[in-house]
C-alpha cells in the first residue's frame, strides 16, 4: 500500500483526533474567558469532558467497523468502547446535574450514579488491559516476568500514592469521596497499562495505543491531584474545562495509533520490560529520600515505607530466581560446550578420536618427549562390503572395527578414525610395542566380526617419530608402509624403513602422470589378431592399450594398470579404450565388409563393472560408432565375476544387449566350473599357463597326457555347453598343432601375430580380402 493510500485510509482517525483537540482547546479558551472576564457560569466547564468523550467513543466505533482487527485486538477495543461509553455517560450525567443546579454548582458534588458509571468504565478499562496477552514465557522466565511486573506496579503506585492521592486525602479542602475514588482508579489504570505495555509483543494490540491509554488515565489524574492539593475547590473548574478533556484526546490518539498499526507493516517487537523494574525501584526510593531529608513521617509515608519493604523483598526474590537461572544457563552452556568439543574432536559414527584430535595429540607428543609411533590401519577391499551388502552393514562393520581397536589398544594408545575405512593408533612411550599390537590386530581380524559375522582383513603401516619429525612426515611414513603392505599381498603389517618411500612415491607419481596421459595424446590402442589355427585367417582382434611416455618411453601395462586401478583412473582409461575400439572396428567393417571381422574384444576390470555408468558408456560407444552389439566382446576375469551382485547385474544386462562376454584366463581361478553355469559367457579363453609346454614330447605318454589334461578338459566342457574357445599365448607351431588336435580352432599369441597398430590390421585385412578374391576368381 502506498503512502498516499495509507494517509487517506487513516484520515478518519486523524479527524477524530482534531475534533477532540478542538474540544480541549475550546475548553481552555472558555476557562481563560471565565477567569479574565467572568463569562457565563462555571457549570459550563462540565460539558467539555462528555463532548470529547462522545467523539472518542465514536472513533472506537469507527475503528471496529472500518478496519480488520485481530480477534484479540477486537475484544480489547470492544471493552474500551464500553468503558469510554460508561465514562461519557457518567460525565454527561455530571454536566446535566451541574447545568440544572447552576446556583450550587460551586459546592455541588458528583452524583453517586454518575460516579458509579465512571468507576465502572475505569474497571472495564482495567479489565481490558489485564486481558491483553503478554510475551509468551514459561518456567523461570514466567516467574521473573511476574515479579518484574509486580515490582513495577508497586513502585509506580507508591509514587502516585505519595505525590498524588495521599495529599488529596489530607488537603485542607478535601474533594468528595467520589472524586478521589475516580482519581485513584485513573492512577490504577495508568499504572496497569504502563506495566502491561512493557511486556506486550508487537501485536495485535498496538504498544503505542496502550501507551496513550496509560497516559489518558495517569496524566489527567496526576494533574487533577496536583490542582486539588494546590487550589482546593477552585481547581474543579480548570480540571473540568481543559485538564480532564485530555483523557478522551489521549484515548483518541491511541485509536489512531491502532488504526495505523493495522494498515502499515508491523515492526518486529523489541524485548520490553528490561528497564521498568529498575525505574520502579528508583521511583519508590523518591518518597524515602524525602522522608530522609526531613519530610514528616505520617501514615501516607508509612504506606510508602511498607511498599518499599515489599518491593525490596520482591527484588531479592527476583534476583535469586535470576541467579538460579544464570546458574542453569551456565551449566547448560558448559554441557553444550563439552558436547561441541567432543563432536569436533571425535568421529560421529564410531566415537573414536578423529583426525583433528589425532594431529593435536601427535603434535603435543612431538613437541615434548618426541617418542611416538603411529599404526595406520586400512581395511582391505572394504568397498566390496558397501557394494554387496549396503552402507548400513558397512557402517556397523566400521563400528565393530572401532571396538576392536579400543579393546586391543587399551589405555596405552589413542585409537583414531581418520576417515572412510582408514584408522590409526597413536602410541607413546608407555604404550604397547607397535609390531606386537599390529600382530594382535591382524590375528583378531582372522575371525569373523560384527553382528553380520564378516571376515575382513587389513593392511597396517607402522612409522616411528624420528628426530625433527612433523605430524605430516610421520603420517607420510606410515602411509608409505601401509601401501607397501598392500603391495606385498595385504593382510600384513610393514614397519617403515629409510628408502621405502621411493618406489611408492614413484608409483604415486605414475598415477598423476597417467591422468596427464589421458588428457593428452600419450595412450595408444594396439590390436592383437585372433586367428584360425588351421589357415591363420584373422577373425577378430583383442584391443591392448600402450602408454608412450614422453620421458620414459613405452610404459609396460604391468606397471601402469595397477596404478590406474589404485587411483580409479581405470574407469576413464577403460572408457577411452572402449570408444576407440568400437570406432576402429566400425571403420574396418565399413572399409572391408561385414565378413572381414567377426569380433573386437577388449578387457574390462572389476572396477569398471562396479561403475553404475558402465552400461551407459558401452551403449553410447556402440551408438556413436555404429558398431553392432554382436561384434563387441568384453573379456572379464574370474576374479571380477566373483565381485558381487552389482557386477552380476551389469554382466547380465550386457548379455541382454547382445554383447558377447568372454571368460579370460580361464582355469586360473578357484571357481571356474561353477562360473560357466552362473555367468552368461559366450567364449572361454584358455589361459597361457595351460598352453605352455603342451607341445613337449619326451617319449612318456603319461606325462604328455598330464600336460594336455586341462586343455582337453576345457575344450570338452566348452563343446558340451555350446561355448566358443580361444587358446591364449600360442608361441610356436608345435603348440598350435597340438591345440588343433585337441579341438581348438582359434588362438592368439606371438607365434600367430603380435600386437599391431590399426594400420597394420588394415593391411592384414586388405591382404586377406585380396587372397579371398583371388581364390574366388580362380
Q: Which residues are catalytic?
A: 728
Measured between alpha carbons, how far is 48 from 634 in angstroms, rounded to an integer?
A: 106
What DSSP line would sit under 524-567, residue for residue? Answer: EEEEEEEEETTT--EEEEEEEEEEEETTTEEEPHHHHHHHHHHH
Distance of CA 449 to the CA centre of its chain: 33
Spell out the long-range contacts of 520-526 with Cβ–Cβ below 8 A and sequence spacing 24 or more: 522/547, 522/548, 522/549, 522/550, 523/547, 523/548, 523/573, 523/576, 524/548, 524/757, 525/577, 525/580, 525/581, 525/584, 525/758, 526/755, 526/756, 526/757
Contact 756, 712 (CB under 8 A): no
Residue 279 buriedness (CB in 10 A; 0-12 / 13-18 / 19+):
middle
What are the beta bridge partners of residue 461? 376, 494
Question: What are the start-end ranges of the H helices in 410-536?
Answer: 434-445, 471-487, 501-519
Burial 348-387 (b: 16+ CB within 10 A, else e): eebebbbbebbbebbeebbeeeeebbbbbbbbbebebbeb
The four Cα atoms 547, 553, 557, 560 give a dihedral, to 10 degrees, of -80
Residue for grid cell 566400425: 586
Measured between alpha carbons, how far is 714 from 667 in angstroms, rounded to an integer?
A: 8
Q: How many CA atoms lie within 13 A of 417 on its CB side?
A: 21
Contact 129, 191 (CB under 8 A): no
Measured between alpha carbons, how far is 305 from 312 in angstroms, rounded to an integer?
A: 10
Measured between alpha carbons, how far is 16 from 368 in angstroms, rounded to an integer?
A: 83
CA distances from residue 31 to 46, 226, 235, 514 in whole angstroms, order as listed: 11, 18, 11, 104
Amino acid at each position: 500500500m502506498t503512502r498516499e493510500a495509507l494517509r487517506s485510509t487513516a484520515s478518519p482517525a486523524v479527524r477524530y483526533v482534531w475534533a477532540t483537540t478542538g474540544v480541549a482547546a475550546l475548553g481552555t479558551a472558555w476557562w481563560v474567558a471565565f477567569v479574565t472576564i467572568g463569562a457565563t457560569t462555571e457549570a459550563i466547564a462540565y460539558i467539555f469532558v462528555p463532548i470529547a468523550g462522545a467523539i472518542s467513543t465514536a472513533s472506537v466505533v469507527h475503528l471496529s467497523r472500518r478496519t480488520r482487527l485481530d480477534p484479540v485486538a477486537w475484544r480489547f477495543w470492544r471493552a474500551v468502547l464500553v468503558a469510554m461509553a460508561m465514562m461519557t455517560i457518567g460525565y454527561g450525567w455530571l454536566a446535566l446535574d451541574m447545568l440544572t443546579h447552576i446556583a450550587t454548582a460551586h459546592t455541588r458534588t458528583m452524583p453517586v450514579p454518575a460516579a458509579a458509571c465512571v468507576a465502572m468504565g475505569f474497571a472495564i478499562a482495567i479489565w481490558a488491559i489485564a486481558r491483553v496477552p503478554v510475551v509468551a514465557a514459561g518456567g523461570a522466565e514466567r516467574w521473573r516476568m511476574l515479579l518484574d511486573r509486580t515490582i513495577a506496579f508497586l513502585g509506580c503506585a507508591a509514587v502516585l500514592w505519595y505525590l498524588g492521592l495521599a495529599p488529596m486525602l489530607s488537603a485542607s479542602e478535601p474533594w468528595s469521596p467520589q472524586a478521589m475514588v475516580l482519581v485513584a482508579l485513573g492512577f490504577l489504570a495508568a499504572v496497569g497499562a504502563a506495566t502491561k505495555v512493557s511486556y506486550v509483543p508487537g501485536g495485535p494490540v498496538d504498544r503505542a495505543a496502550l501507551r496513550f491509554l496509560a497516559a489518558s488515565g495517569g496524566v489527567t489524574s496526576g494533574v487533577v491531584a496536583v490542582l486539588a492539593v494546590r487550589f482546593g475547590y477552585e481547581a474543579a473548574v480548570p480540571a473540568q474545562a481543559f485538564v480532564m478533556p485530555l483523557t478522551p484526546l489521549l484515548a483518541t490518539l491511541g485509536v489512531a495509533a491502532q488504526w495505523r498499526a493495522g494498515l502499515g507493516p508491523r515492526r518486529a517487537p523489541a524485548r520490553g520490560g528490561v528497564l521498568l523494574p529498575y525505574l520502579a525501584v528508583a521511583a519508590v526510593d523518591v518518597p524515602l529520600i524525602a522522608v530522609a531529608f526531613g519530610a514528616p513521617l505520617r501514615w501516607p509515608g508509612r504506606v510508602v515505607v511498607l511498599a518499599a519493604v515489599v518491593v525490596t523483598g520482591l527484588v531479592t526474590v527476583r534476583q535469586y530466581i535470576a541467579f538460579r537461572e544464570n546458574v542453569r544457563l551456565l551449566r547448560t552452556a558448559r554441557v553444550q560446550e563439552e558436547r561441541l568439543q567432543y563432536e569436533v574432536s571425535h568421529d560421529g559414527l564410531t566415537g573414536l578420536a578423529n583426525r583433528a584430535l589425532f594431529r593435536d595429540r601427535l603434535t603435543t607428543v612431538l613437541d615434548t618427549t618426541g617418542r611416538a609411533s603411529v599404526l595406520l590401519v586400512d581395511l582391505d577391499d572394504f568397498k566390496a562390503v558397501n557394494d554387496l551388502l549396503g552402507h548400513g552393514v558397512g557402517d556397523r562393520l566400521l563400528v565393530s572395527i572401532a571396538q576392536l581397536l579400543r579393546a586391543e589398544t587399551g589405555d596405552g594408545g589413542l585409537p583414531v578414525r581418520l576417515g572412510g575405512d582408514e584408522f590409526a593408533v597413536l602410541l607413546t612411550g608407555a604404550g604397547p610395542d607397535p609390531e606386537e599390537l599390529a600382530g594382535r590386530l591382524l590375528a583378531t581380524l582372522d575371525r569373523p566380526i560384527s553382528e553380520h559375522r564378516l571376515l575382513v582383513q587389513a593392511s597396517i603401516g607402522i612409522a616411528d617419530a624420528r628426530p625433527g619429525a612433523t605430524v605430516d612426515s610421520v603420517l607420510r611414513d606410515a602411509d608409505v608402509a601401509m601401501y607397501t603392505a598392500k603391495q606385498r599381498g595385504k593382510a600384513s603389517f610393514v614397519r617403515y624403513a629409510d628408502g621405502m618411500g621411493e618406489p611408492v612415491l614413484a608409483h604415486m607419481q605414475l598415477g598423476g602422470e597417467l591422468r596427464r596421459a589421458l588428457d593428452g595424446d600419450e595412450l595408444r590402442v594396439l590390436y592383437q589378431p585372433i586367428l584360425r589355427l588351421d589357415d591363420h585367417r584373422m577373425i577378430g582382434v583383442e584391443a591392448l592399450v600402450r602408454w608412450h611416455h614422453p620421458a620414459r618411453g613405452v610404459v609396460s601395462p604391468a606397471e601402469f594398470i595397477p596404478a590406474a586401478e589404485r587411483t580409479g583412473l581405470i574407469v576413464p582409461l577403460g572408457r577411452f579404450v572402449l570408444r576407440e575400439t568400437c570406432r576402429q572396428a566400425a571403420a574396418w567393417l565399413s572399409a572391408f565388409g561385414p565378413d572381414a571381422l567377426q569380433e573386437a574384444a577388449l578387457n574390462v576390470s572389476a572396477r569398471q563393472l562396479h561403475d553404475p555408468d558402465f552400461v551407459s558408456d558401452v551403449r553410447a560407444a556402440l551408438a556413436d560408432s555404429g558398431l553392432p552389439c554382436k561384434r563387441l566382446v568384453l573379456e572379464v576375469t574370474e576374479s571380477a565375476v566373483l565381485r558381487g551382485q552389482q557386477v552380476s547385474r551389469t554382466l547380465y544386462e550386457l548379455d541382454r544387449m547382445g554383447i558377447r562376454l568372454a571368460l579370460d584366463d580361464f582355469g586360473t581361478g578357484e571357481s571356474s566350473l561353477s562360473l560357466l553355469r552362473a555367468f552368461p559367457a559366450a567364449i572361454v579363453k584358455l589361459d597361457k599357463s595351460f598352453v605352455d609346454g603342451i607341445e613337449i614330447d619326451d617319449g612318456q605318454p603319461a606325462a604328455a597326457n598330464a600336460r594336455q589334461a586341462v586343455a582337453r578338459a576345457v575344450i570338452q566342457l566348452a563343446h558340451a555347453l555350446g561355448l566358443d574357445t580361444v587358446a591364449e599365448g600360442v608361441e610356436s607351431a608345435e603348440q598350435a598343432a597340438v591345440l588343433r588336435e585337441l579341438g581348438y580352432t582359434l588362438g592368439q599369441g606371438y607365434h600367430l601375430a603380435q600386437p599391431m597398430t590399426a594400420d597394420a590390421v588394415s593391411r592384414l585385412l586388405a591382404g586377406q580380402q585380396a587372397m579371398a578374391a583371388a581364390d574366388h576368381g580362380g
